Amino acid sequence: MTGACVCLMVLARWRLRAVGGLGVGVLLLALWFLRAPWPGAGGTQEPQPTLTILIWHWPFTDWPPDLPGNTCARFGAPRCRLSTNRSLLASADAVVFHHRELQVRRVHLPLDRRPRGQPWVWASMESPSHTRGLGRFRGIFNWVLSYRRDSDIFVPYGRLEPRTGPLPPLPPAKRGVAAWVVSNFQERQRRVQLYRQLAPHLRVDVFGRASGRPLCANCLLSTVARYRFYLAFENSQHRDYITEKFWRNALVAGAVPVVLGPPRANYEAFVPPDAFVHVDDFGSARELARFLAGMNESRYQRFFAWRHRLRVRLLSDWQERFCHICSCYPHLPRGQVYEDLEGWFQA
């Protein structure tokens, strides 16, 4: 779980916290150079071979996208081929299994045909609360691709990048205080309980399948943009589990996320502290409601300060996620096996 992938992430964080961290940054950079051998280092200039990453079943669909040979070039990994052709099992450099299809048993692992030493990747973007059947996979997978920062191949739902070029547009004009989009509404969920506690004190406009106010296909962002705050309540609370509800529905739309998820410190590993409101910052739902409803414009604008130097990058494309395996490949740990994948993921 070391190597360039993690190092690049650390460097990205260092850039976020650029002020006062120069010494640390230089040190990290030096460590990174020492760890990661450059291709062609040591005088040889042979081109690197093309890697073949076999995706055993494309996530959530029986109709995989067309995957031209240069699919990964646009994600910075030109010598990398994604394929869903199972005839390549014998020769693939890594094989990826997406958990959902394993869980519902649409897919079975080709254990009896596995070439010796072939790295197998377990891939999932779901939280532990929505992941079943991991106990069956002891001692099988070598690498994990997920939103968890300690994954071998770390693929967050989004991240902040340094902004270059023109200043960001002003936040759109606001007409409401708080919006929430929800398609799966169940009383036992913490997010529903919190909504019930907030509703008497704060007008929350609820959209989505569960609300009787469904949104048309491309209306979510423009709808949320009219509100000051967006309830970015995760369906379950787990470390690093910060999904498109936060990155897209709130930040990209231009609304300030009010988050229910992992603790504040976990969010601050991804975004600056003044980019969001955390429900844990308040003693009660009533206090939170009072804070949101009573906020003046100058206080509100402070939630947008970071946008002058950073911008949101969504990482929602499975092709990009899988191509990231190639960027990480030279530095992924060889010989590692997840003996207790369930224990690791549920921890």
Ligand X SMILES: *[C@@H]1O[C@H](CO)[C@@H](O)[C@H](O)[C@H]1NC(C)=O
Residue 44 or 296 with smaller CB distance to ligand X: 296
The answer to whether the Cα torsion of 229, 230, 231, 237 is positive or negative is negative
Beta-strand pair 310-314/158-162: antiparallel
299 binds ligand X (CB under 6 A): yes
62 binds ligand X (CB under 6 A): no
Q: How far is the CB of 52 from ligand X (least distance, A)?
A: 10
Pairwise CA distance, residues 309 & 160, whole Å: 10
Q: How far is the CB of 54 from ligand X (least distance, A)?
A: 10
Residue 22 or 305 with smaller CB distance to ligand X: 305
Pairwise CA distance, residues 109 & 102, whole Å: 8
Q: What would the DSSP string read from start to end of 79-122?
A: SEEEE--GGGTTT-SEEEEEHHHHHTTS----GGGPPTT--EEE
- Given a contact cutoff of 8 angstroms between Cβ atoms, the answer to whether 269 and 304 are in contact is no
Enter the tokens of residue 85: 């052709």
Stretch that binds ligand X, among 42-50, 253-261, 293-301, 309-317 (CB under 6 A): 293-301
CA-to-CA separations, 197 to 121, 182, 322, in angstroms, rounded: 42, 16, 41
Residue 301 or 346 with smaller CB distance to ligand X: 301
Catalytic residue of the set 126, 234, 287, 342: 126
Stretch that binds ligand X, among 81-89, 127-135, 306-314, 332-340 (CB under 6 A): 81-89
Beta-strand pair 51-55/80-83: parallel
Stretch that binds ligand X, among 11-19, 84-92, 163-171, 319-327 (CB under 6 A): 84-92
- Given a contact cutoff of 8 angstroms between Cβ atoms, the answer to whether 331 and 5 are in contact is yes
Stretch that binds ligand X, among 82-90, 106-114, 215-223, 258-266 (CB under 6 A): 82-90
Q: How far is the CB of 86 from ligand X (least distance, A)?
A: 8
Q: How far is the CB of 283 from ligand X (least distance, A)?
A: 17
**Residue given tokens 């960027």 in the structure block:** 327
Q: How far is the CB of 95 from ligand X (least distance, A)?
A: 14
Enter the tokens of residue 302: 């402070």
Q: From the centroid of its chain, how far is CA 335? A: 26
296 binds ligand X (CB under 6 A): yes
Residue 37 or 273 with smaller CB distance to ligand X: 273
Q: Which residue in 2, 48, 61, 85 binds ligand X (CB under 6 A)?
A: 85
63 binds ligand X (CB under 6 A): no
Residue 45 or 296 with smaller CB distance to ligand X: 296
Q: Which residue in 43, 298, 334, 335 binds ligand X (CB under 6 A)?
A: 298
Q: From the centroid of its chain, how far is CA 320? A: 12
Q: Which of residues 87-106 bind ligand X (CB under 6 A)?
A: 87-88
Q: From the centroid of its chain, how far is CA 203? A: 30
Contacts of 51 (CB under 8 A, 6+ apart): 79, 80, 81, 93, 94, 326, 329
126 is catalytic: yes
Enter the tokens of residue 137: 């996979």
Q: How far is the CB of 299 from ligand X (least distance, A)?
A: 4
Binding mask 304-343 for ligand X (x = CB under 6 A): ----------------------------------------
- Given a contact cutoff of 8 angstroms between Cβ atoms, the answer to whether 259 and 277 are in contact is yes
Stretch that binds ligand X, among 5-13, 83-91, 234-242, 263-271 (CB under 6 A): 83-91
Q: Indicate which residues carry an active-site annotation.
A: 126
The residues that touch ligand X, with contacts defined as CB under 6 A, are: 85, 87-88, 296, 298-299
